[in-house]
Amino acid sequence: MLGAWDMRKFRVTLFGQTTVVLPDNTIVVDFGGTRPRQVLGILAASVGTPVSKDRLVEQLWEGEPPRTCTDTLEGYVALLRRHIGVSHGRTSPLATRPHGYVLDAAQVEVDLHSFRRLVRPAGDSTSDEELGRREAALDLVTGPLLASEPYADWAADERNRFQSEYLSACQQAASRALELSQPQVAVDTARKAIASDAMAENSWQLLIRGLAATGARSDALRAYLDLRRTLIEAIGEEPSAASQRLYADLLTEDRTISSTRLREVQGLLTLLRDALNTCPHLDLSPHDRRLTQRAERLLAAA
């Protein structure tokens, strides 16, 4: 299944609360304190790539490390290993490398890394498969990235980097869904994109197109007005020419539909009049007479 975890690996969740699920399904949320948890977060965000002790020290203490920072860092790593039940050394899931440490991608799976793998273009995939991969990636995002680290600068940098990746994945999924005539999927993913960044006008365009394709044209028109209000309140600008054309096309389509319906009503009223003329002595109930009189007035007006 796309996006499914490999149950043989250690699984690290960075979306929402930082969590480790051991291969026996034991869940670990206590890593021995804030700093050991942050070590895990930094290593997990770079799973498979060694992180130097110098970089860990810089990010943990944000440029103001204590004199014993290297020894303290090594103590944090030892404490982290003890809480998740792994050994030390080069073959450990949390392995020692020259001048640093690495989470071994062969033994550890990280939701952020899985997201990036799923949204990466696959040359031999069909359109359906590409959409499925992106939907699976979006399903992994169960909360803010590194929510356990709301104040750390390194975590804020990771969140900023991820926001553009997430927005792009939502937009690509919505666009692909429209191509595959799955407008409700397009609507759902476009709304996720807008929730992530309401200033991304392309997301609104995808939402409008998706709503229109589902037949919810009034909602599509309302979405354009919401876009317009958002842009004017934020930057004092009108939507782009592309968005305005989309809105104008919807209005034109509505007028065409209204004109078609009017002709249909005119045809029905004409049939009704002809039927009544062939039955001049038809005894109608008071209710039917009122309806007939209204129909005659409508027909005259038409």
The domain segmentation of the chain, as residue ranges, is: 10-111, 127-239, 250-301
Find where tokens 């979006």 sit.
Answer: 138
Please give the class, per CATH, of domain 10-111.
mainly alpha
Task: Give CA–CA dist 25/9, Å, rounded.
Answer: 10
Domains 10-111 and 127-239 share a fold: no
Tokens linked to 175: 């666009």
Quickly count: other Cβ atoms within 10 Å of residue 196's Cβ: 18
Mean pLDDT of 238-267: 74
Give the mean model confidence (pLDDT) for residues 75-99. Answer: 94
Q: What distance in Å separates the CA atoms of residue 3 and residue 210, rounded to the nearest whole number?
A: 25
Yes or no: say if 86 and 94 are a contact pair by the CB < 8 Å rule: yes
* Dihedrals phi, psi of 197, to nearest 5 degrees: -155, 100
pLDDT score of 260 more than 60? no
| pLDDT tens track for 143-188 | 999 999 999 999 999 999 999 999 999 999 999 999 999 999 999 9
Q: What confidence tier does 251 reach under pLDDT thresholds 50, 70, 90?
A: confident
Strand partners, 20: 12, 28
Residues near 124 by beta carbon (within 8 Å), at least 6 away in sequence: none
pLDDT above 70 coverage of the chain, percent: 81
CB 174 within 8 A of CB 205: no
Would the pLDDT of 96 be above 60?
Answer: yes
In this structure, the strands spanning 27-28 and 10-13 are unpaired
* Angle in degrees, CA 39, 139, 36, rounded to 5: 10
- The class level of CATH for 127-239 reads mainly alpha
Provide the 10 A C-beta neighbour count for residue 130: 19
d(C-alpha 112, C-alpha 118), whole Å: 10
**DSSP letters along 18-85, please?**
-EEE-TT--EE---SSHHHHHHHHHHHHTTTS-EEHHHHHHHHHTT---TTHHHHHHHHHHHHHHHHT
Phi, psi of 177 (to 5 degrees): -65, -40
CA distance 119 to 221: 31
At 14, is the secondary structure helix, strand, or coil?
Answer: coil
How many residues belong to the chain? 302
Query: What SS3 state is found at 97?
Result: strand
86, two tokens: 């792994």
Number of C-beta neighbours around residue 223 at 10 A: 26
Q: How far apart are CA 42 and CA 28, in angstroms?
A: 17
Q: What is the pTM of this model?
A: 0.81
**pLDDT 10s digits, 4-30:** 556 678 999 999 999 999 999 999 999
